[in-house]
Amino acid sequence: MRALIQRVSQAEVTVDGERIGQCGAGLLILVCAMQGDTEAEAARLVAKITKLRIFKDAAGKMNHSLLDVGGSALVVSQFTLAADTSRGNRPGFSSAAAPAEGEALYLHVASLLRGQGIATETGRFGADMAVALVNDGPVTIWLDTQSSNA
């Protein structure tokens, strides 16, 4: 699985002008399930996300995790994280999981976050969404369970 996480002071997602999800201080998590991903990859991704020490301590150093600071999360499906740009100028997305699998894993990520006690809201899988955020830092981190960084 792939995720792009952004430390935010707030974020929201709207569909057709209606806000369907939001979070306060915490993380905006853009998630993409790849072909062959399972719930095990989702669990590994969530374990990494919740424990990443990317929030400031009293001295201003990034020493606290999302769990440490009691932050919230907004999880948004983002199949374009599977983009293959190695040939030409039009990205390919064939390495993304099939829609039914992708949606199930995306929802599983949100469920696992909630299971950790993190207030978590989501976007709408497959919808044309508008995401607004106030990036805090900015801090933006790429995670991929198929590499050594997740």
76: domain CATH number is: 3.50.80.10
Does residue 21 lie in a domain region? yes
Supply the range of the domain harboring residue 44: 2-142
pLDDT of residue 106: 97
Indicate if 80 belongs to the active site.
yes
Q: How far is CA 135 from CA 10, 18, 40, 63, 139, in A?
A: 8, 21, 29, 18, 7
- Which of 69, 73, 143, 64 minimizes the C-alpha distance to 114? 73
Which of the following is catalytic: 6, 79, 122, 145?
79
Alpha-carbon Rg for the chain in angstroms: 15
Catalytic (active site) residue 35 = no
Residue 149 is assigned to a structural domain of this protein: no
* pLDDT in the model for residue 147: 83
Q: Is residue 148 part of a domain?
A: no
- What's the pLDDT band for 96 if we cut at 50, 70, 90? very high
The yes-or-no answer on residue 78 being catalytic is yes
| Residue range 129-150: mean pLDDT, rounded | 92
How many domains is the chain partitioned into structurally? 1
